[in-house]
Amino acid sequence: MDELKNVYGRGTELITLYVPFDRVPDATKLLRDEIGKASNIKSRTTRQAVTTSIKSCQEKLKAINVDSAIFVGNTNIGWISQAIETPKPLTGLIYRCGSEFFLDPLERMSDSGPTYAIINLDLHEVALAVLCGVHMDVLFDDESQVPSKMGRGGQSARRFEKNRKIAITAWFRKCSDKISEILLSRDIEGIVVSGPGLTKNDFVDRGYLHHELMKKVVGIVDTGYAGVQGLKEALNGSEELFTDLALVSQRKSVRAFLEVLSKDGKVTYGRQQVMANLNKSSIVLLSSEDVEIKKMAETSGTNVVIVSAEFEEGKMLRDVFGGYAALLRYS
């Protein structure tokens, strides 16, 4: 996969296809349709290039017998036509046509190291995500039918409160069943339970979380939001529990750079400036792979950190600092 990271083509000439083996007929139809669409491309050169890539992709598709990722096209280093067995089962069909190969799904599957889970819930929403390497994948989110509290008293209020308690119990059980279904089949290193208010504590204290998963709970974290919006907030409040995750060390490296920058300290950014100061650098931050800089950094004893743009710090490095930054040993 490494050779695919730094290649590029012209326009939309590079084809990426992720296909589960049981979806080969669907992929075959999709490529046939794409051939028809390619005939409408105005540029004759681009039209021929895209058509050639799709036809090559069709040939690769005929030969696969497992879930596969197919990469085809004429790149800056020459013609590429590869079918790679995916390290994990694919959940759907993905087709992309662009100037670069779409590698995110394959990189996520190749993540190594421990896997953690974050549960975020209150009485209205729930979300579950797993973290591995530099990625956080949301695997489940849902909304409840638990009614809000009733303000007035009387017989109707007591009946309403009884029905509300039944709804809360049903909601907790539904959350527990889905969380167990997803996590019990995975090798999870630790679990953080999070959310606003005391709902998350009730969920844990009243024994709704499966006993095998309870053994892996490493912390309970307060958040201002519930559901998917609360997951990243929970991650921010749990970093000390996830010290062996690559994304945590990456984010800390970017923050260290920003802190020194804010004090007009010894930093630099931009590709030319970073390259010119490699011998002075203690850490170089890159938003994507740069083989030249990595090789030069190795000879100068500089640590290189590739920072994922999936989180705010990585996006800032890419968008504000051009994808290159460095902490310097001296000016």
Percent of the chain with pLDDT over 70: 96
- Judge whether 328 and 282 are in contact, CB under 8 Å: yes
Q: Which amino acid is at 319?
A: D
**Statement: residue 178 has pLDDT above 90:** yes
Helices (H) and strands (E) in the chain, counts: 12, 13
Percent of the chain with pLDDT over 90: 54
Mean pLDDT of 131-144: 88
**Statement: residue 269 has pLDDT above 90:** yes
List pLDDT tens digits, range 150-177. 655 565 888 888 888 999 999 999 999 9
pLDDT reported for residue 331: 59
70 versus 297: the higher-pLDDT residue is: 70
Can you name the residues that pair with 70 across neighbouring β-strands?
17, 83
Burial classification of residue 316, based on how many CB atoms lie within 10 Å of its CB (0-12 exposed, 13-18 middle, 19 or more buried): middle
Helices (H), 102-227: 104-109, 155-183, 199-205, 211-214
Among candidates 110, 104, 102, which has minimal Cα distance to 85? 110
List pLDDT tens digits, range 74-125. 999 999 999 999 987 887 899 998 889 988 888 777 656 788 999 999 999 9
> What number of other Cβ atoms are within 10 A of residue 268's Cβ?
22
Beta-sheet pairing, 303-306 with 281-286: parallel
- Judge whether 65 and 8 are in contact, CB under 8 Å: no
**Statement: residue 141 has pLDDT above 90:** yes
- Tell me which DSSP letter residue 82 carries: E
What average pLDDT is seen over the chain? 89
Supply angle C-alpha 76, 79, 85, rounded to 5. 110
- Judge whether 133 and 111 are in contact, CB under 8 Å: yes
Q: In what order do the strands lie in the sheet with 303-306?
A: 267-269, 324-328, 281-286, 303-306
Q: In what order do the strands lie in the sheet with 217-222?
A: 135-143, 125-132, 115-121, 190-195, 217-222
Domains and CATH numbers, the chain: 2-109 (3.30.960.10), 115-241 (3.30.420.60), 246-328 (3.30.1330.30)
